[in-house]
Amino acid sequence: ILGVRDIHADHAASHIGKAQGIVTCLRATPYHSTRQKVFLPMDICMLHGVSQEDFIRGKQEKNMRDVIYDIASQAHIHLEHVR
């Protein structure tokens, strides 16, 4: 937008965008769950023994918190790349 032509700025912006997308998905999870939708990666959910139905029912068990933690950790990794 500002006419910056720098590969490093592009790389940083890419990681910031990915981190923001992950965080937005996590923040919207309660909203989507009330509408019977889950947009979290199923491979991570399955790794922790969590189903889409668990999120839809609003359970708050440790394994569900572990799913959220793992996904949030991916956003954190993207931010570390930016730094």
Tens digit of each residue's pLDDT (9 = 90 or more) over 39-69: 999 999 999 999 999 999 998 899 999 999 9
Judge residue 9's burial from the number of C-beta atoms within 10 Å of its C-beta, 0-12 exposed, 13-18 middle, 19 or more buried.
Answer: exposed
Distance CA 10, CA 21 (A): 16
Q: Looking only at Cα atoms, what is the longest distance across the chain? A: 48
Range of the domain at 43: 5-79
Contacts (Cβ under 8 Å, ≥6 apart) of 52:
38, 42, 45
- The count of structural domains within the chain is 1
Average pLDDT over residues 8-26: 93
